[in-house]
Amino acid sequence: MMNDQVDNDSGTGGWDAISASLAQLYPGQEPRHAAPVRSAFLGGGDPLDGISVYHSTQGLPHWHYVTYGLSELYGKESEDPDYSGYGLELTFRLRVLPGETEAPSWAFDFLQNLARYVFRTGNVFEDGHWMTANGPIALDTPTSICSMAFASDPQLPAIETVNGRVEFLQVVGLTLEEERAATRWAPRKLLDALLPHMPLWITDLERASLLDLPAVGAAVAAGMARDGSSTGHIFTDVLEVTELEMSRAGPSLQVTLGARQVADLLTLLPLRLPFGNSLTLAGSDWQLVFEPAGIDGAGLEDQTLTVFMSPVTLAAFGSTLAPFEGDYRLPGLAQVAWSVKKTLIRDAGGVVVQTIG
Other beta carbons less than 10 A from residue 350's beta carbon: 10
Q: What tens digit of pLDDT does each residue of 127-140 get?
A: 999 888 878 888 77
Q: Which residues of 230-251 are buried (b: 16+ CB within 10 A; e: fewer)?
A: bbebbbbebbebeeeeeeeeeb
Residue in 82, 55, 70 with CA at minimum distance from that of residue 18: 70
Q: pTM of the entire structure? A: 0.70
Look over the chain and give the mean of its residue pLDDT values, rounded to a whole number: 88
Instruction: Give the integer Cα–Cα distance in Å for 257 and 260.
Output: 8
End-to-end CA distance of the chain: 35
Instruction: Give the integer Cα–Cα distance in Å for 16 and 28.
Output: 16
SS3 content of the chain, % helix, strand, coil (to 5): 30, 30, 40
Pick the residue with more confidence: 106 or 227?
106
Rg, the chain, Cα only: 22
3-state secondary structure at position 354 = strand
Exposure on the CB side of residue 146, measured as CA atoms within 13 A: 19
CA angle (296, 300, 306) in 5-degree steps: 45
Q: What tens digit of pLDDT does each residue of 192-222 get?
A: 999 999 999 999 999 999 999 999 999 998 8
Asked if 169 contacts 155 with a C-beta cutoff of 8 angstroms, the reply is: no
- The mean-pLDDT minimum among 156-160, 331-335, 347-351 falls in 347-351
> Which DSSP category does 323 fall into?
S
Other beta carbons less than 10 A from residue 64's beta carbon: 25
Instruction: Give the integer Cα–Cα distance in Å for 199 and 45.
Output: 35
**Residue spans of beta strands (DSSP E) within 198-238:** 233-235
Q: What is the DSSP string of 21-72?
A: HHHHHSTTPPPEEEEESS-GGGT-SSS-SEEEEEEE-SSSSEEEEEEESSS-
Q: What tens digit of pLDDT does each residue of 119-177 get?
A: 988 889 999 998 888 788 887 788 999 999 999 999 999 999 999 999 999 999 999 99
Asked if pLDDT for residue 9 goes beyond 80, the answer is: no
Q: What tens digit of pLDDT does each residue of 269-313 get?
A: 988 898 888 999 998 889 999 999 999 999 999 899 999 999 999
pLDDT at 244: 84
3-state secondary structure at position 213 = coil
Instruction: Give the integer Cα–Cα distance in Å for 75 and 50.
Output: 17
Asked if 41 contacts 12 with a C-beta cutoff of 8 angstroms, the reply is: no
pLDDT at 260: 86
Instruction: Give the integer Cα–Cα distance in Å for 187 and 212.
Output: 17
Average pLDDT over residues 21-32: 96
CA angle (142, 129, 298) in 5-degree steps: 115
Pick the residue with more confidence: 34 or 350?
34
pLDDT at 39: 64
Q: What tens digit of pLDDT does each residue of 221-236 get?
A: 888 778 777 888 888 8
Instruction: Give the integer Cα–Cα distance in Å for 332 and 295.
Output: 9
Residues 6+ apart with CB under 8 A from 32: 4, 52, 53, 102, 103
Asked if pLDDT for residue 349 goes beyond 70, the answer is: no
- Burial, 344: exposed, middle or buried (Cβ in 10 Å; 0-12, 13-18, 19+)? middle
3-state secondary structure at position 16 = helix
Residue in 354, 346, 318, 293 with CA at minimum distance from that of residue 139: 346
Greatest extent of the chain over all pairs of C-alpha atoms, in Å: 71
